Amino acid sequence: MISNAMSVDVEDYFQVSAFEKNIKRTQWDSLPHRVAKNTHTILDLFAQHNTQATFFVLGWVAERYPELVTRIVSEGHELASHGYGHQRATQQSQIEFKDDITKAKQILEDLGGVAIKGYRAPSYSINKSNLWVHDALLESGHRYSSSVYPVKHDLYGIPDAPRFAYQCENGLLEIPITTSTFMGKNLPGGGGGFFRLYPYALSRWLIQRVNEQDKQATIFYFHPWEIDPDQPRQKNVSFKSRFRHYLNLNKTEKRLNHLLTDFNWQRMDRLFLKDLD
């Protein structure tokens, strides 16, 4: 059976891009934090299923909850970077971006005692307008990125990007989020909000389809806030943002239990870097 890549983007509910116009960064420290509790629940879940995963951790979170970093590493998971302050790469200058990823990498390496090889851009914010990001990542010592989503979406995506792992011109490995082709289009199949939107049977079918037809590993991701139906509710956001963020939060953990039972899962570095070492 093919091993697939399990990944977690470690950020709190108030840091999502959909809320950035409603919640100021200066408010973050004063809001109720739920990321530590939720991430420990995820680590417990992975331990129950003997699953190792990749955790893309915000430097901001790591600074405030170093015990999360310690536990992630001590339990055999891969520690990777989600940048420092969850600012989209499309909203940063080249200097701002490099400062952000360098700061995050240093914090994570100091706390975790391991080399940070992987990076995932907040909100998959690598598109055709900022492919220089790949150069900045390589120059700062990263070996791979998992920041491209080969779909058409209002917030992100490169629809015609390769669907599976590929080397950029500079040698950095890009590992796109999983899609399955259907009627000539790429259908999202890598988790996140779509995992909460789809019936579980559809998510399972999409992963099986990629494994069996494409003979490829899938890349699955989710966030700690997605298993937390009791998180504070934001009122002054659009209906679309509320729908996307709060849909089926009460079902995610049960679905994850099924997912961890139905498929084999592994860290991203062990699946994709082994042939490059």
pLDDT in tens, the chain (277 residues): 899 999 999 999 999 998 999 999 999 999 999 999 999 999 999 999 999 999 999 999 999 999 999 999 999 999 999 999 999 988 999 999 999 999 999 999 999 999 999 999 999 988 888 989 999 999 999 999 999 988 776 566 578 789 999 999 999 999 999 999 888 888 888 999 999 999 999 999 999 999 999 999 999 999 999 999 999 999 889 999 999 999 999 999 999 999 999 999 999 999 999 766 5
Sign for the CA dihedral angle at 6, 12, 17, 19 comes to: positive
Pair 85, 63: CB distance under 8 Å: no
pTM tops 0.75: yes
Chain Cα centroid distance, residue 215: 22
Pair 144, 175: CB distance under 8 Å: yes
Crossing angle, helix 66-74 and helix 94-112, to 10 degrees? 60
Q: Which fold has domain 3-272?
A: TIM Barrel (3.20.20)
Pairwise CA distance, residues 120 & 130, whole Å: 14
- Report the chain's C-alpha Rg in angstroms: 17
